Amino acid sequence: MDLRTNDKGTTKTRAKTGISGLDEILEGGLPSGHFYLVEGHPGTGKTTLALQFLLAGLDNDESGLYVSLSESKSELIEVARAHGWNLENLSLFELLTYLSQMGVATFIILVQHGLIGGPLDSNTIDVSYIADSAIVLRYFESSGQVRKAISVLKKRSGSHEHFIRELSLISTGIHVGPPLQNFRGILGGNPEYLGDPEGLSRGDYGKS
């Protein structure tokens, strides 16, 4: 965990997410005591992202709480096991109420309706208003393949990168790839490739 000093001279801690590339987008990590919204379609990696963040904290001798209204303990253990993480000895709780704790970086995970495309709905906008930061995960289609993208829409405390990057679910968890600079319309659900067609066929469509 890093220590940063804000313009008022107050020291705040920044938690590393444990995710390759995401700390770079967030320019140093997540300030403690804030709410973070992670929104995306089913299967884009929301649960994996949250578990990976939780485990990164545990590796740094920090405490964590995972609250789920839809996934059972056994389901979460299976998700973790698929990435080589052992949750068997950790205490996971299924709670129907949300407990806000002072000084804890808290993730709110919101499922986007449907699988492919579609703009942010009204529920997303309402929740993102109260969140200190908002991370969006999206599917997009490229050259006949379904891919994933990640972007930080806002971060109240400090600056952040504004690129949309490719996201991959690999054996060790989540990997954040290069910026998708040659696409537009990914978050709106209608991606359009503007770069070199030969680059698209080679799979280097994120390069300018």
Task: Supply the pTM of this predicted model.
Answer: 0.58
Structure tokens given for 161: 């990168």
18 Ramachandran zone, left/alpha/beta (phi>0; psi -120 to 50): left
DSSP letters for 77-119 = HHHHHHTT---TTS--B--SS----TT--EEEEEEPSSSS---
Quickly state the pLDDT bin for 94 (edges 50, 70, 90).
very low
Cβ contact 150:176 at 8 Å? yes
φ, ψ of residue 52 to 5 degrees: the values are: -65, -40
Quickly state the pLDDT bin for 165 (edges 50, 70, 90).
very high
Residue 176, pLDDT score: 93
Residue 18, pLDDT score: 85
Average pLDDT, integer, range 90-98: 41
Higher-confidence residue of 78 and 99: namely 78
Higher-confidence residue of 62 and 205: namely 62
Cβ contact 168:148 at 8 Å? yes
Higher-confidence residue of 70 and 83: namely 83
Q: 185: which residues sit within 8 A by CB, 6+ positions away? A: 191, 192
Cβ contact 44:116 at 8 Å? no
Give the chain's domains with CATH numbers.
Answer: 12-175 (3.40.50.300)
pLDDT tens per residue across span 10-60: 456 778 888 878 988 888 888 877 888 888 888 888 999 999 998 888 888
CA distances from 197 to 1, 108, 150, 184, 193 (A): 43, 38, 23, 15, 8
Q: How many CB atoms lie within 10 A of CB 64?
A: 16
φ, ψ of residue 70 to 5 degrees: the values are: -130, -25
Structure tokens given for 29: 């990590």
